[in-house]
């Protein structure tokens, strides 16, 4: 996000000014990175040999299931968003490569290199979905201690300060991700006894950490170690 716009927004908060300047956080998803050992075991299975010439996209997944024994779920309903269908024509070959690499090659082939699809693991099932759904599959809930930012205010003024902090965060960090409550692709934020409870993607959580650091620096307080910024992390 633009640092000058961020500085203006934070200064506005410090001096109890008007609404924060809106800025869209740049997306930094890495939807295909897998870290848990059990997940690696699935995606590192070797695909011995597959060749599909002008076959159906859905049949390619069947071939990968047969070749590796892996459980692969494809969210066809979600992929319709990009006009991707199981009957789409694909030409695809893989020989002695990992299942993860084979899937990535297949998805790039089917989307003509546009990167509209990704993969993630859910309870040992390999899921194929849109890149956006893959990003939100990794959302988590974290708790941020902001009592020091509320130390010198009380009563109604304290409530107003909490409202300004939350507005600053939701206006400046991926604003659209806080609004669509009908979708699982949304974040949430609330305050309880000086703790901000936030559900968001890992990328947006990191942006919140950085924003709180800026606030503490602005208020002239020494930034403390990690437990000050994030005391709890748990799956959403």
- Residue spans per domain, the chain: 3-29+139-235, 37-136
Encode pLDDT of 119-177 as tens digits. Answer: 888 778 899 988 877 777 778 899 999 998 988 888 888 999 999 999 999 999 989 88
Write a three-state SS string for 126-183: EEEEEHHHHHHCCCEEEEEECHHHHCCCCHHHHHHHHHHHHHHHHHHCCHHHHCCCCC
pLDDT-above-90 percentage for the chain: 39
Instruction: Give pLDDT, residue 1.
Output: 52
Per-residue model confidence as pLDDT tens digits over 200-210: 988 899 999 99
Residue-wise pLDDT tens digits, 13-39: 544 333 332 333 333 333 334 434 444
In angstroms, rounded to a whole number, what is the distance separating the alpha carbons of residues 110 and 90?
6
Model confidence at 12: pLDDT above 70: no
64: number of Cβ within 10 Å: 22
Sorting pLDDT into bands at 50, 70 and 90, what band is 236? low
Pick the CATH number of 37-136 from 3.30.1360.30, 3.40.50.620, 3.55.50.30, 3.90.650.10: 3.55.50.30
The pTM of this model reads: 0.55
């Amino acid at each position: 996000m633009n640092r000058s716009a961020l500085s203006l927004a934070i200064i506005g908060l410090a001096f109890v000014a008007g609404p924060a300047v809106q800025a869209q956080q740049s997306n930094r998803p890495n939807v295909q990175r897998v870290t848990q050992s059990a997940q690696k075991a699935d995606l590192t299975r070797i695909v011995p040999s597959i060749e599909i010439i002008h076959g159906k996209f859905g049949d390619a997944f069947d071939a990968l299931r047969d070749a590796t024994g892996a459980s692969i779920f494809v969210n066809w309903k979600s992929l319709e968003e990009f006009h991707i269908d199981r009957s789409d024509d694909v030409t695809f070959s893989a020989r002695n490569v990992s299942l993860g690499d084979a899937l990535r090659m297949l998805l790039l082939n089917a989307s003509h290199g546009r990167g509209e699809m990704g993969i993630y693991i859910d309870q040992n099932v390999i899921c194929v979905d849109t890149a956006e759904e893959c990003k939100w599959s990794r959302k988590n809930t974290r708790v941020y201690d902001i009592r020091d930012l509320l130390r010198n205010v009380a009563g109604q003024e304290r409530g107003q300060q909490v409202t300004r902090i939350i507005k600053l965060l939701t206006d400046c960090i991926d604003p659209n991700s806080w609004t669509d409550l009908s979708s699982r692709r949304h974040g949430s934020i609330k305050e309880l006894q000086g703790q901000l409870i936030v559900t968001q993607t890992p990328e947006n959580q990191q942006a919140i950490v950085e924003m709180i650091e800026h606030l503490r620096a602005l208020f002239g307080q020494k930034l403390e170690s990690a437990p000050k910024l994030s005391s709890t992390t748990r799956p959403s």
